[in-house]
Structure 1
């Protein structure tokens, strides 16, 4: 570590900082999967229709997409630690609202509040750039990035067990306790750092424009199967999304202090990393939709494995732990070969996992292997993407750029859900008077995931090395970029 980097590292125990931020990301992911065991029971619990109950999931998706870029930009303006603490408040408040309500309106509002707090992961990754020495930055980024997968993997069996053996309300009271604990840990363990864009103004018009466009787009994608892909509502939302996002882009290019600097985003290194992020998000989520269904379908189908919700969660849990296990390897790989090499490697590992699924669909142990391989690749890729982004953007845009990258991953998961849903709805079989997804539908969905992962590797291969100017700027601001941390750049 050089003298410049040493000067920028605050006098704090960096191990506690990384652990706190990784735990914050894990808790945020648990919030997202919290209601999965309740999906079949929500209409009864909330005394509403299944269509209305589905908004309990959709509300979190929409609010997270809208507020993650806003949280990132505010982190650059007022300080990342302050914004992390502020994100804990809606996580806590939303959990309490959900715990005490018995009707659909407050439940949807509470879930929306939980989504507002999902910016903790990109904010945490960005803060690492300010507090970690260069030699530890890659491994820290990899662990905090992997925390979302870790939380998703652990959250499902924990939520299923609590819902089955205690009470669904206990899920939300537990979530509230976790949010409060994270807030306390951030307060005591995470140091304050200077705001990279202090003194600049917040682009409220840009925030409203991006939020409106994203709401229209994600509503159309997530609800299109229910409303009909050719319905006036779905097509109207797609059209509104295009118009709003075009108008937003025009505004961002003309305003002096934009919410998202599109000129920086258009740089090949950032643009191609974000494109790969969409594809990796797609590849990550396809198996998360398909494998649980295969595990739970009745054995009488000939391809289902007849597992309960809790058993299914336990079979899926090791895949989340694999993301944590490979994160140090990803950091070392980035230090040795550069983040582009790590991203390409991760995408190819994901593709290999999907390829293995063609031979291993018939057993729980086979699906366990498939999910562990796929999530190992996701762990490598998720750790590399923030490193690529931060090596190409100035210090004043770190949180905003990482938040936008997180948004790209979320868009990938949304498109994955839509495409996978269409495939499984089109390829069906009938058993006992019930229509179920056919084995061919699952295989096609997994093959699509494989193809998308290969495409992500192809896009990643085209990511250029950082420009000399960007590298110099990073070196001047922090004594080394994520690209060069610990080793010469080779990719």
Structure 2
């Protein structure tokens, strides 16, 4: 093949410098992270703007995760079939479109729709990881994933800081999304001129029925959790939604088992090697996204409530800066850590550090210094865990399944985050200061304890995954 060189069996790379590919993928990953966190500091303000409850406004965040959960395995599968670069461009384009819808929105339903379209861009992360595995020599894969993970961490904090700067100057949420649209458009151009497709293409067809069933049971589950306080946990509507979620989920599992080209290959979800990795991702996603929304609300709670810092939207982003710095450091070191201990044990270390940070703020949250210290430790954990999850998801699968394997791992992480957002919103709504709608301190303490336990469980599962990794040979 003219203009190309063979790096390893199954991997063909054009002579274009690898650093350009890494730059394009890192920029795109950063923009996706920006859209995931950009609304978090705005949630308390949006409650006032739209006259919505905590549970209702939580859908501005949850809708993005839910759409990502459905789109990720679909687009990852398409990436394996037709080329990952095409799908990366598509996801980045959806991010531009969703951002424009949000920027033009003047009602909560329209904003939620725009956030859902934005959320589909979550598929870009596993597509980028699959591209790295296809393109980079084996010895440099973990380092490259670590770099992308680092930029994702920067994007997460940058999104909150940009939101804070804008919120200090206007009460409108529109400028935030115009900025997101512009940056996403730049990412589209950069990917188009810098990235390229390599690797083995897989055959098959798209499982649209599987996508419809997956989205249906997830919506039923999350709607039941978010509306439990308003409708009553024993009401017919809530119980009916839970029953519908269980029934449709069972149908979805059967459809995936019988389909010749399933949306989610169940052996990549619950196989002997895949189940521990995906369970760890589910638990870590639950804790990670839950902590984001909890900290934002806690910081902005007036101290007159008996807790909170009475901070501004900008303060939320500034308090996250220590996490950004430590995440940068740990992400760039993650490759060496995984090379020495393996991705599973690295994930256990990262999840353990994350649990320590959550636990710190669960018991010690009276001072801003407690938050800053906890965020610094949290950044260390996220940096190591992000990189390890990406490598663990594709470590033992054939090359032509790297995109969907990474997509399944991202799927369960998004599901964990979606459920976490709904549960914590329900707790904050149900445990309030007497005579008010303001969440009581105990609601936050309980919520932080739950996300801490989730991170601890993720670390334990990762340890089990590490033990199992010694018993089964790697797939070439």
With the length of structure 2 as denominator, give the TM-score of the two structures: 0.89
**TM-fit CA distance, 1:105:** 4.6
**TM-fit CA distance, 1:342:** 0.1
Question: Cα 1:68–1:251, aligned 2, differ >3 Å: closer, same or farther?
Answer: same
Residue of structure 1 in register with 2:135 after alignment:
131
Residue of structure 2 in register with 1:153 after alignment:
157
- 1:246 aligned to 2:250? yes
2 CA distance for matches of 1:189 and 1:133? 18
Residue of structure 2 in register with 1:188 after alignment:
193
Residues 58 and 222, structure 1, Cα contact 8 Å, conserved in 2 = no
Instruction: Give the alignment partner of residue 436 of structure 2, picking from 430, 434, 437.
Output: 434
- Unmatched 5+ residue regions in structure 2? 1-5
**TM-fit CA distance, 1:468:** 5.3
Question: Cα 1:62–1:444, aligned 2, differ >3 Å: closer, same or farther?
Answer: closer
1 CA distance for matches of 2:421 and 2:59? 15
Cα deviation code 1:172-213 (max 9, x no counterpart): 22111111111001111111224531x322222222222222
SS of 1:8's partner is strand
Residue of structure 2 in register with 1:23 after alignment:
27
Instruction: Give the alignment partner of residue 270 of structure 1, picking from 274, 287, 310.
Output: 274
Residues 226 and 423, structure 2, Cα contact 8 Å, conserved in 1 = no
Cα deviation code 1:451-474 (max 9, x no counterpart): 2222212111111116655x2x42
Question: Cα 1:354–1:55, aligned 2, differ >3 Å: closer, same or farther?
Answer: closer
2 CA distance for matches of 1:360 and 1:43? 28
Once the two structures are superposed, the pairs formed by residues 87-102 of structure 1 within 5 Å of their partners are 87-102=91-106
Cα deviation code 1:117-169 (max 9, x no counterpart): 22111111111101111111112223324544432222112112113325532
Cα deviation code 1:410-444 (max 9, x no counterpart): 122223233433444454434xx535333333333
2 CA distance for matches of 1:43 and 1:440? 21
2 CA distance for matches of 1:58 and 1:350? 22
Question: Cα 1:16–1:224, aligned 2, differ >3 Å: closer, same or farther?
Answer: farther
After superposition, the CA RMSD in angstroms is 2.6
Once the two structures are superposed, the pairs formed by residues 27-426 of structure 1 within 5 Å of their partners are 27-42=31-46, 55-165=59-169, 168-194=173-199, 196-197=201-202, 199-357=203-361, 360-426=364-430
**TM-fit CA distance, 1:58:** 4.2
Question: Cα 1:217–1:150, aligned 2, differ >3 Å: closer, same or farther?
Answer: farther
Residues 226 and 426, structure 2, Cα contact 8 Å, conserved in 1 = no
SS of 1:257's partner is coil
Residues 282 and 452, structure 1, Cα contact 8 Å, conserved in 2 = yes
2 CA distance for matches of 1:263 and 1:226? 39
Residue of structure 1 in register with 2:3 after alignment:
none
2 CA distance for matches of 1:289 and 1:54? 9
2 CA distance for matches of 1:105 and 1:191? 37
With the length of structure 1 as denominator, give the TM-score of the two structures: 0.87
Residues 88 and 182, structure 1, Cα contact 8 Å, conserved in 2 = yes
SS of 1:268's partner is coil
1 CA distance for matches of 2:20 and 2:344? 28
SS of 2:130's partner is helix
Question: Cα 1:76–1:250, aligned 2, differ >3 Å: closer, same or farther?
Answer: same
- Unmatched 5+ residue regions in structure 1? 475-491
